[in-house]
Structure 1
Amino acid sequence: MIGFIVNPASGNGRGGRVWKKLEPELKRRSVPYRAAFTECKGDAVAKTEDMLRRYSLDAVVAVGGDGTVHETVNGMERAGSRDRSGRRPPFGYVPAGSGNDYARACGIPRDPAEALDRLLRELASGREPLSADLLRLEGDGAPAAANSYGFGLDAAVAEAVNRSTGKRLLNRLGLGKLVYLFALLRALVSYRPVRASVTVDGGDTRRFEEVWLIVVANNPCFGGGMRICPGADMRDGRATVCVVSGLGRLGLLCLFPLVFAGRHVGLKSVTLLEGREIEIEAPAGMPVQADGESVRLAAGEAVRTIRVAPGAFMTLG
């Protein structure tokens, strides 16, 4: 039996429309399934955990956007990634959001019917699912990340996007990516770069002035297709770190179009690092996001440690 965690509101209602197409196909193929529908932020975490504890599942599948992926994976983390029979079911994804960065990283088709067909074929093949890494931020209650953590401007932009009343309208017009641009332009006016340092695997500490953002990535993309860390691989046991620093607002604005193609790599203002344990020291008020969702850290916390958990879950796709 497959457990589906469906976010009907994702992608301005696309999640609900996608499910209406998937369910008849599941019935046509006589695929046993259970579905749980999210109603508010954080709901997918609880519903995933509950489903794993109540049923013996062949897979847990998120239907929604990257936020749904984020919450479903964290629900699996809370449940120990094991169902009531003690098995460790794999994670699957049918993209139905506006960003779908997890789908890009895994090569999952954007078409829901194709994504479902591929998922069912993989389950029927009997092959062992591939293992995938997770990123874990040290701290009580801090969520894991399937895609990336971001510190600084990108986290401020993510928070603005999630609060945006215009996101729904732009999604309806097929212009959902523009909401990130508008949020970036607004954040550039008020955000102030900071001084920060990064230590990788206990080695030498790198110190940076005028830091705009630090991204610790498990997958190449964030923000709806921006290839911030082109070499990131969720199966290599390592995280890729991208630090953008030492440039003014105009320079930063000129840099962002290059990120969609990964052409920012090699610029003087961009530093890329790799490792299994990343320690970031920055002002306590620096915004933080995990998979595009805002993270609240303990007051006064200035040092953040992120560790890669190799092969923490199994994935279809």
Structure 2
Amino acid sequence: MSTLIMINPHAAGGRARRLLLPLDVWLTALGLAQKPDIVMPESLHEAHHAIAKRPQGSMIVVVGGDGTLNQMLPILISGKHVIGLVPYGSGNDCARAWGLHKLSWQDALSFALSGPASAIDVGRIQLNHRDPHYFHSSLAVGFDASVGNRALAGPKFLRGLPRYLLATLRELLHLKNWPLKVQADGHVVHEGNCLLASALNTPTYGGGMPAVPHAMVNDGQLNLLVGGSFNRWQTLLMLPRLLIGKHLGHARIQCVAFTEATLTCPAPVPVAADGETLGFATHIQITLLPGALQVVKKT
């Protein structure tokens, strides 16, 4: 199988760039019969071009985080490639779901090159009926998307959960609820003011927050997490419960499994996929793509 290792030099605040030389030396020392190609594209266009040149069904090892993988999803899915992951991001919720987040880059790379592949689900998003986007971990709408946007602009020395917690506290100062109508598989789940509406494929998001602890990436469904109207004080009180996965029993929190969902809002609401901002939308269509991606994972 043709193998390409793609390092996102901008991942982890630019720290992933330093992996190029040690990674190359490590691969050379393995004495492989066919050494994988290594690229470090400076732009998304260059990254897509590098993958597009590979034969269909190639092994693509992504060195980066949730956002890096998210930006590669369209071409990875269309090329029917097998995906390995070396976690090197700020959130790494995908790596948690794949059982990789505690591995060193050497162990993660070794596993990516030799581990078995299996199919996982992917979510497809259409904003205002335009061209689709995809997510492997989460789609955030409302408060969560605003927090994600602040996390992207946060201090580079912070990673993982602390980065998202700081962004959350900052967003509390500008707290807003949106008049959302949320439908899942043809049924109205919520209609009225809403703090957030997130679709999850992984148990965690936001750098490790167990938003849907029972979620699985290969169970043929997505999970819709809807938070009704919350003020600042109520939101602040909810955070500790979210951090330990005890929020699902709250009267204003709903969690519904689905394969097709529609969210509408009279005013543009912020949207983010896998921590990457998608801007604002008034109509959001979410569709499950079961088993759409072949990945090398432990769990």
* TM-score normalised to structure 1 length: 0.85
What do you get for the CA RMSD once the two structures are aligned? Answer: 1.9
Equivalent residue for 2:286, pick from 306, 311, 314: 306
Q: CA deviation at 1:48?
A: 4.2
Alignment of 1:75-154 (within 5 A): 75-77=75-77, 80-81=78-79, 88-108=80-100, 109-122=102-115, 129-138=117-126, 139-154=129-144
- 2:194 corresponds in structure 1 to 211
- The CA deviation string for residues 12-58 of structure 1, in whole angstroms up to 9 with x for no partner, is 33312334332222112225222222324xx1xx3443233323364
Alignment of 1:1-317 (within 5 A): 1-29=2-30, 30=32, 31-40=34-43, 43=44, 46-56=45-55, 58-77=58-77, 80-81=78-79, 88-108=80-100, 109-122=102-115, 129-138=117-126, 139-164=129-154, 167-171=155-159, 177-202=161-186, 204-297=187-280, 301-317=281-297
Number of aligned positions between the proteins: 290
* CA distance, structure 2, for counterparts of residue 114 and residue 6 of structure 1: 16
Stretches of 4+ aligned residues off by more than 6 angstroms: none
Q: CA deviation at 1:141?
A: 3.1
* CA distance, structure 1, for counterparts of residue 68 and residue 202 of structure 2: 16
- The CA deviation string for residues 143-179 of structure 1, in whole angstroms up to 9 with x for no partner, is 2111111000111111122123xx21335xxxx5333
CA distance 1:283–1:243, change in 2 (3 Å):
same
Work out whether residues 161 and 209 of structure 2, in 8 Å CA contact, stay in contact via their aligned partners in 1.
Answer: no
Work out whether residues 196 and 282 of structure 1, in 8 Å CA contact, stay in contact via their aligned partners in 2.
Answer: yes
Secondary structure in 2 aligned to 1:247?
coil
* Alignment-mate amino acid for residue 163 of structure 2: V
* Alignment-mate amino acid for residue 64 of structure 1: G
* CA distance, structure 1, for counterparts of residue 275 and residue 264 of structure 2: 21
Q: CA deviation at 1:253?
A: 1.1
* CA distance, structure 2, for counterparts of residue 73 and residue 149 of structure 1: 14
- The CA deviation string for residues 219-241 of structure 1, in whole angstroms up to 9 with x for no partner, is 11111001111122111111101
Work out whether residues 52 and 75 of structure 2, in 8 Å CA contact, stay in contact via their aligned partners in 1.
Answer: no
- The CA deviation string for residues 103-136 of structure 1, in whole angstroms up to 9 with x for no partner, is 00111143111111212222xxxx5x20111100
* CA distance, structure 1, for counterparts of residue 244 and residue 107 of structure 2: 25
* Alignment-mate amino acid for residue 192 of structure 1: K
* Alignment-mate amino acid for residue 74 of structure 2: N
Secondary structure in 1 aligned to 2:250?
coil
* CA distance, structure 2, for counterparts of residue 223 and residue 183 of structure 1: 10
* CA distance, structure 2, for counterparts of residue 207 and residue 98 of structure 1: 32
- The CA deviation string for residues 185-237 of structure 1, in whole angstroms up to 9 with x for no partner, is 221222311222221111x2123443111110111111100111112211111
* CA distance, structure 1, for counterparts of residue 268 and residue 171 of structure 2: 15
Secondary structure in 1 aligned to 2:268?
coil
* Alignment-mate amino acid for residue 117 of structure 1: S
Q: CA deviation at 1:66?
A: 1.1
Secondary structure in 1 aligned to 2:199?
strand
Specify which structure has the higher proportion of strand. Answer: 2
* CA distance, structure 2, for counterparts of residue 310 and residue 278 of structure 1: 15
Work out whether residues 14 and 97 of structure 1, in 8 Å CA contact, stay in contact via their aligned partners in 2.
Answer: no
- The CA deviation string for residues 74-97 of structure 1, in whole angstroms up to 9 with x for no partner, is 3324xx12xxxxxx3301110011
